[in-house]
A and B are shown apart, each in its own frame.
Chain A
Amino acid sequence: MRRNQGCNPLEHVMARRQFLGGAAAGAIGMGVLGHHAQAVQLKRQEKRILQVFLQGGVSQLESWDPKPGTVHGGPFQAIPTSVPGIHISELLPNIAQRMHNLSIVRSINIKSNDHEQGRQFMEKGRRVGDFPYVGAVASKYLTPADSQLPGYVHVSTRGITDVAGGAAFLGARHGQLKLEGVKPPGNLAPPEGVDALADAGRDQLRLQFNQRFVERRSKALTEAYDASYQQAAKLMSRKEMFEGRASKQDLDRYGTHDFGRYCLLARNLLENGAACVKVTHHGYDSHAENFNFHLEQLGEFDKPFCMLLDDLKARGMLESTLVVIYSEFGRTPKVNVRYGRDHWGTAWSVALGGCGIQPGAVIGKTNDTGTAVADREVDAGHLFHTYLQAVGLDSTADHDMPGRSIPIGDPSAESIKELLV
């Protein structure tokens, strides 16, 4: 069967534009950060975020908050993990063995059962308003000065389009570069018939135009574009990173299916300086056949994710990489007549670990039947603060926007302090 590639030539063009913008941002963003005594406190460089988005709303009862044998528990059992006392669904056996690297927040109530509202809230930490996504914030403040990649990269075969890549007022250069699976952004290669020499000539011509242009204008724009072209050139020379030319050993571990390859690409991107990599795994909006679908989907998710976690740890990167597994909401405790679970933002879970996160913790709890939060209710605003503080950013400070006062996180929320190291 053929997977829906979810793109067209125009999107390839847009992808390149996104890439170029994102690449430029690295130069400008870090330059600004380096020259201003700003409110944002970056405790240490070289931190990054890995977001794994289980699109459609993973069921908390089939993942992080199982309640076997209860009225809404479903058919799956809970299994012990590497952390005594913490049990998760049997559908995540590999994660269970690595639970000491992760923590769970089981008490999320976002008060919305709508895909788009839930997704926006989880990304922006605010219910309304044009605010940047976590990934865009990471791009702006965490992108290393020497990064050869855009700050915020999203690996997904398909999905919902994000306006301005989630950058909001941070500028499109901090918006997500959306990769179509493991393919590189479109139009990176020289046009057919243009060899390396000719391409160098084209680039020289572009530089000459830039020189004439800059004589009458600010140098900032042309410098940014120069940087983007340079990064594009570097990227073209390393296409294997995108094309998934993984070793047999890696493929044996991660799997040869799409999500396994996405995780391998995420590893490469993080290793090469991306400040935030988001990997989307589709197929959790299970209004029917919830249990068969979670069996299939989580079965595909569990091992590759764990291989990625292992590799981050083996490379000494886990302590500087915040890892978040999240959705736009959870799923109803009540099983419907189609063996499905519906949208449920009232009492659900995320898992996170790595940089700045207390490992092996469980924050909050739901009641015995999973229908409501019973302790330590939090929402996406709290999570947003927590994510950023975990990577050393002061989420209560204002954005680095001269002349404007825009708090990074929602001032009405705060971080989950007991989860932070």
Chain B
Amino acid sequence: MKFGVVRFPGSCDEVDALRAARRVGDAELLWHGERDLKGADAIIVPGGFSYGDYLRAGAIARFSPVMESVIAFARDGGLVLGICNGFQVLCEAKLLPGALLPNANLRFTFRQVDLDVVRGDTAFTCACGSDGGLSAHPPHSILSIPAKHSWGRYYADEQQLAALEQNGQVVLRYALGENFNGSLNDIAGVRNERGNVFGLMPHPEHAVDELTGSTDGLCIFASMRLAVEGARV
């Protein structure tokens, strides 16, 4: 199992994502100017400020050469995870529905938040069991994961939102009282209709070691491995 982690100029959390992915598999950085995905089985579009977030968060990154390949990879059913800025990039690239608006408090905010796993049966949460291991998914669990962003208020129009809920595309919600950015329906993470592209604002790659506060994020990466290797069998 190999993860490819995209590196844009201005990416900040790409090495953290790389290290997190390496806890469950192999991983390599992918330079934004190249189209080669180097045989990755799953792609991570990491956090940071790609291209300085100029124009609009994620708006420029989606046009980079590597994203052409990532978009094609996603269209072919490959697993793509977007974290924070990566989520914004995936929305800009129309791989995910909706958009991320400025936080309700209009400030960059860093907080450890509790997330409800709405669906434990997705390619990105199937390992998020109460034991945090690779066991069968439980119906419900809570993850403690840090969030840090200025533009994290999830927005979709009424019709889109209804469709999202109906199709079961909402994967993670902020737990009660944790929705500091004002996201609609407390949405913290959504997937596409097909289920192979997932974006979230909180940073699972920063919740993979007890020493830095939590290991709850590890299950996201473990889930992806499980999904890829399960699909191979």
A and B from one complex: no
> B residues bordering A, Cβ < 8 Å?
none
Chain A residues within CB distance 8 Å of chain B: none
